[in-house]
Amino acid sequence: MALTGVLRPGHVALRVLEMGPALKHYKDVLGLIETARDDKGRVFLKAWDEHDHHSVVLREADEAGMDYMGWKVASVATLKKLATDIEQSGLCTDLGWVPAGEHPTTGERFRFTIPTGHVMELFAEKGIVGNNCGTDGENINPNPWPDGLKGISPSRFDHCLLYGDDLDGTVKLFTEVLGFGVAEQVMAGEDKSFMIGAFLTCSNKAHDVAFIRQPVKGKFHHASFELGSWEKVLHAGDVLSRNHTSIDIGPTRHGITRGETIYFFDPSGNRNEVFSGGYIYYPDRPTITWWDVELGPAIFYHDRKLNEAFLSVFT
């Protein structure tokens, strides 16, 4: 599949209550790599196998949660076209341009608020720092992983799960304007026609972002990071336990997306996930549908029942 529009999740900007404990968590336990700090007090980090300058932005604030999620697009021309398409759709509010350089090494970004109340942005340019695997140049004769990894050490920032009220408008925006596919959906009601969950992809992954319908605006459920194998998910559980990190649930498996997973919290209460597995998605693949009465195995396939905190705790 040729990726010509939105390529992938590019970054997530999170609010943390205290920067010191947050950095210990994200650098030493999760194992992200710090790439920059700015005069606003923000810290920029990346996972080891990401070539772009950063994928996580931390900002100290009085309330935890997500400031915005950014998406890498294929080119500057694509950025301009999608910005126009978003404006003409009438689905978004608070549209505007963020100047180049507001994030380190990053070009201008187009920012907008989607119907569920979340702030999103598109960008085409970000500095390449590589993954430190090459022995004679960054991508020449590389090793399979670099030395000096810490903690869980995921390979990339993968997706977010977000809570909001206007799921219909947001799905319309992502599918009809931004070109995403619906890989999986959760349906409710007597005739199972009322969508309460949507797992959306712009790539070959089972999801790049997911939304759950809740009577709130702009809430953050979790940011997820990819590990590559079930064995690494189990290892993540060991790392979390020895660091006395608050675990939400897992290791276990999802029915939705088939991913192997463990959920845990940063010191500010923001939920993180590390996962592996899933399946390859193509645009002609039929959407997988789950009914609300089967939500237990859909979310936690092994014990087939819901964890109430998983549904009700968000920032």
Segment among 6-10, 56-60, 249-253, 264-268 with least mean pLDDT: 249-253
- Residue 298, classed as helix, strand or coil, is helix
Which of 68, 163, 263, 281 is flagged as catalytic? 263
| pLDDT at residue 87, rounded to an integer | 97
Consecutive H or E run containing 95: strand 93-98
More confident residue, 146 or 104: 104
Residue 267 vs residues 27, 37, 178, 247, 303: alpha-carbon distances, Å:
13, 20, 34, 11, 27
| pLDDT at residue 1, rounded to an integer | 44
User: Is the per-residue pLDDT at 313 higher than 50?
Assistant: yes
- In the annotation, is 279 catalytic? no
Which of 108, 184, 226, 273 is flagged as catalytic? 273
- In the annotation, is 54 catalytic? no
Average per-residue pLDDT for the chain: 91
How far is Cα 123 from Cα 208, in angstroms, rounded to an integer?
Answer: 16
Residue pair 290/184 in contact (Cβ under 8 Å)? The answer is: yes
What does the CA dihedral 86, 90, 93, 95 come to, rounded to 10 degrees? 40
Other C-beta atoms lying within 10 Å of the C-beta of residue 162: 25
Task: Go through the domains of the chain in sequence order and give each one's CATH number.
Answer: 6-123 (3.10.180.10), 158-312 (3.10.180.10)
More confident residue, 271 or 294: 271
Which of 207, 226, 260, 281 is flagged as catalytic? 207
User: Is the per-residue pLDDT at 59 higher than 80?
Assistant: yes
Confidence of residue 193 (pLDDT cuts 50, 70, 90): confident
Q: Write out the two tokens for 79.
A: 């950025």
Which of 159, 184, 221, 260 is flagged as catalytic? 159
| pLDDT at residue 65, rounded to an integer | 97
- In the annotation, is 254 catalytic? yes
User: Is the per-residue pLDDT at 257 higher than 90?
Assistant: no
- Residue 84, classed as helix, strand or coil, is helix
How far is Cα 181 from Cα 258, in angstroms, rounded to an integer?
Answer: 17
State how beta strands 156-164 and 209-213 pair: parallel
- In the annotation, is 263 catalytic? yes
Which of 222, 226, 260, 281 is flagged as catalytic? 222
Biggest distance spanned by C-alpha atoms of the chain:
62
Which of 103, 254, 260, 281 is flagged as catalytic? 254
Consecutive H or E run containing 290: strand 288-291
Distance of CA 141 to the CA centre of its chain: 30
How far is Cα 22 from Cα 58, in angstroms, rounded to an integer?
Answer: 8
Consecutive H or E run containing 311: helix 308-312
- In the annotation, is 125 catalytic? no
What's the pTM? Answer: 0.94
Residue pair 70/120 in contact (Cβ under 8 Å)? The answer is: yes
Residues above pLDDT 90, as percent of the chain: 71
Exposed/middle/buried for 87, CB within 10 Å: 0-12, 13-18, 19+?
Answer: middle
Mean pLDDT of 226-249: 93
The length of the chain is 315
Residue pair 300/248 in contact (Cβ under 8 Å)? The answer is: no
How far is Cα 307 from Cα 229, in angstroms, rounded to an integer?
Answer: 24
- In the annotation, is 281 catalytic? no
